[in-house]
Amino acid sequence: MIPTDEDLAQAHARLRTRVRHTPVLHIDGRDVGSHGTLTLKLEQLQHTGSFKARGALNAVLTMPTAAASVTAASGGNHGAAVAWAARQAGVHATIFVPSFSPQVKQDAIRRYGADLHLVDGFYADALEASRRYAADREAIHVDAYDQAATVAGQSTIGVELAEQIPPGEVVIVSCGGGGLFAGVCLALRGRNTVIAAEPETAPSLASAIAAGRPVDIDVDRTGVAVDSLGARRAGAIATAVALDQRSAVLLAPDRAIRQAQQQLWDNLRIAVEPGGATALAAALHHARDLAGHRITVLISGANS
């Protein structure tokens, strides 16, 4: 279910003093191989090193008070965020991740006190294991992107951006299952155009828009950003929002993602993971299509 305006307002009030109000950085486009100026929203400075802390905490804080434990499936960042949020709320977390999830993300999940289970396969396989665990143990499953409370939590980024950038500026955000994209879209609806950025190796939202509904895709496991942006199927919420707002999706090849990641470090000393650089990679790779627009890029995570 798509979160309502009231859901978004309540999430902002709930999280305002619990998450970091991340800054924006206005840069010379030449620093990243582009022209003009760009604005970067530095969400890699958020708790747990990614935007995921917002959605996870909102979901945990709105779950039934009788719940004794939570569970989640993740490529890594959502798992760390749920583990952190559960620790804030004083409940136990059990996290399921694909076995190829980066070690740094596995270590973060354990560091926040959660039990970690490695699952052979992709995110979808970890999701199935998490849902099974929730049913067997009466735990609350915290979805990474297709749950109203999670999306409402991510929308708080858009609320902040409305105070940081002018109306009309184009906002580009990375997209895996689409929770971040949907939340920012809903928060900035009618004010700023929001474009999704996906790796070419996992175009789940682009495929959903083309089909008019979420569809399963083949994810190239060798893709540099698939640990965080490798959803086999876009969320129903993100798909509905994208179709309603006639949203565009920009695809970024691995080479462009690596280049954007390297330029952020070489020229700005901003360290990000490949998924965190994908929105910038898409903006640079499609610079000709975006000519004439003022651009804000969301840097979504730095756990690599």
CATH of the domain at 134: 3.40.50.1100
Residue 226 contacts residue 219 (beta carbons within 8 Å) = yes
Instruction: Choose the final residue of a domain: 116, 141, 166.
Output: 141
pTM to 2 decimal places: 0.95
Tell me: do 192 and 116 sit in the same domain: no
State whether 209 and 165 are in the same domain.
yes
Among residues 93, 114, 141, the one where a domain terminates is 141
What is the count of structural domains for the chain?
2
DSSP-assigned letter for residue 286: T
Are 62 and 175 in a shared domain?
Answer: no
SS3 234: coil
Distances (CA, A) of 76 to 2, 110, 117, 274: 24, 11, 11, 13
Look up the domain containing 82 and give its range.
Answer: 53-141
Please list the pLDDT of the chain residue by residue as tens digits (304 residues): 899 999 999 999 999 999 999 999 999 988 888 878 899 999 999 999 999 999 999 999 998 876 679 999 987 799 999 999 999 999 999 999 988 888 888 999 999 999 999 999 888 899 999 999 999 998 999 999 999 999 999 999 999 999 999 999 999 999 999 999 999 999 999 999 999 999 999 999 999 999 999 999 999 989 999 888 989 999 999 999 999 999 999 999 999 999 999 999 999 999 999 999 999 999 999 999 999 999 999 999 998 7
Query: Is there a contact between 206 and 249 (Cβ–Cβ < 8 Å)?
Result: yes
In this structure, are 112 and 168 located in the same domain? Answer: no
Indicate whether 159 belongs to any domain.
Answer: yes
Beta strands in 99-165 (DSSP E): 115-119, 140-141
**Per the domain annotation, does 304 fall within a domain?**
no
Phi-psi region of 200 (alpha: psi -120 to 50; beta: other; left: phi over 0): alpha
Of 109, 141, 173, the last residue of a domain is 141
Q: Report which secondary-structure segment, H or E, holds 73.
A: strand 69-73
